[in-house]
Homo-oligomer: A and B are copies of this chain.
C-alpha cells in the first residue's frame, strides 16, 4: 500500500534501505488493525527471517518520528501502532476484529467550546476514540 512512499521517506531522511526495514514497513502499512511490536516481529519474519525484535523497536521509533505511524491507546494496552492519518483525525475501533479506521469529518467544536466556557480551560487539542463493531462484524 503505502510501503513505497514510506521507504522513500525513510531514505529522504537519511535512513538506509534494508531488508529488515522493508519487511517491517510492509507489514504495518498493509495492516488494517493496530499491531504490537511482537506482532510486527512475528509477521515480518515470514519475509525476513533473520529479523531481530530490537530492529522492530528501532524502526517503529523512526516511523513514529516521521509521522508515518501512530500509537493506539486501548483498554488492553497502549503499545500498538497503525498507519497515521494526515492532520487531525479521530479513531474508530472494532471490538471484535480489531479493525481500526481513521476519520475526520464534522468536528465537535461546538461541544468543545461549551466545555471551555463551562470549565474555564483553554482547550487546544482533543483525542476522540469510538469503539464498536465494524460493518463486517456487526
Contact = CB atoms under 8 A, between A and B. Distances in A.
Contacts of A84: none
Contacts of A112: 130
A125 B121 contact: no
Given A129-B127, A130-B123, A132-B121, A92 B105 contact: no
As for how many copies of this chain the complex holds, the number is 2
Interface residues of A, number: 35
A103 B129 contact: no
Contacts of A95: 124
Contacts of A94: 121
A114 interface: yes
A95 B131 CA distance: 26
Interface of A: 73, 78, 90, 92, 94-95, 101, 103, 105-106, 108, 111-112, 114-116, 118-135, 138
